[in-house]
């Protein structure tokens, strides 16, 4: 993460107010709640896992066993059970 010097971007009065609390330190200012991205949205991991889990559910519904799915996806039987027995409301 690249930092930006506060005296370049903040109005002087706001900078003086911030300096009452911290001087010479790096301060992280988070994005507003509605603008934050969820885990895996940038990298595509979230979409990959969603598609994989949908495929596992579909194969299970078509008759594949927990053991077969576990071997095919290199996941534990417990992980497969969590995927197929949990409703996905997303």
pLDDT tens-place string over residues 9-52? 999 999 999 999 999 898 888 888 877 777 787 888 989 999 99
Q: Is the pTM of this model over 0.85?
A: no
List phi, psi (to 5°) of 88. Answer: -105, 105
Q: Among 63, 90, 60, which Cα is nearest to 82's?
A: 60
Q: Please report, for the chain, the start and end positions of each structural domain, with discontinuous segments joined by +.
A: 6-85
């Amino acid at each position: 993460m690249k930092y930006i010097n506060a005296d370049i971007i903040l109005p002087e009065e706001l900078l003086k107010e911030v300096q009452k609390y911290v001087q010479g330190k790096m301060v992280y200012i988070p994005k507003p709640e509605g603008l934050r991205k969820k885990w895996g949205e940038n990298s595509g991991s979230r979409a990959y896992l969603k598609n994989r889990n949908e495929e596992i559910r579909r194969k299970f519904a078509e008759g594949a066993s927990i053991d077969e799915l576990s071997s095919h996806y290199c996941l534990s039987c417990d992980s497969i059970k969590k995927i197929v027995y949990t409703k996905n409301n997303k």
